[in-house]
Amino acid sequence: MRWLRMTTVLCFGTFDGLHPGHEDYFRQAREIGERVVVVVARDETVIAVKGHTPRIHEAHRVSMVHDHALVHEARLGYPGDKYQIIEEIHPDIILLGYDQQAFVDRLISAVQERGLVVDIRRAKPYHPEVYKSSKLYA
């Protein structure tokens, strides 16, 4: 019997309230891989990156993402080494959000330093004039 490995797609985000834009992000991930793993930002990371506390506590945000039909696994990120979780999950593809900027500048070098070969892609926006958390929950 041959072992067939499922293509794993890794996504990142705050997910401070799920909306159709997030749904589309997960759908795009599912279209390019069989297994979608989502890393949800810790509250302290959200504060450091966005300058405010998330509306929804990290435990509830990860639970909401985990319960989504298109997501196979949801995990909280690490407060220290933001790239450690990539090494643990060992994805085939990282699908960045269309507007994701946090921790992207060092992503390629961090992946290479860990000896990983990962295809890094960018998701297409889904009606960003409407479905953007900063607009919906301002």
3-class secondary structure per residue, 24-61: HHHHHHHHHCCEEEEEECCHHHHHHHHCCCCCCCHHHH
The one-character DSSP state at 17 is S
- Report whether 57 contacts 49 (CB < 8 A): no
pLDDT of res. 93: 98
Chunked into runs of 10 residues, the chain (138 residues) has average pLDDT values of: 79 95 97 97 94 96 98 94 93 95 89 94 89 62
Q: H or E element: which one contains 62?
A: helix 58-66
* Structure tokens that stand for 43 in this block: 């509250």
pLDDT of res. 2: 58
All structural domains of the chain, each given as residue ranges with its CATH number in brackets, are: 8-136 (3.40.50.620)
pLDDT of res. 32: 97
pLDDT of res. 55: 95
Q: What is the pTM of this model?
A: 0.90
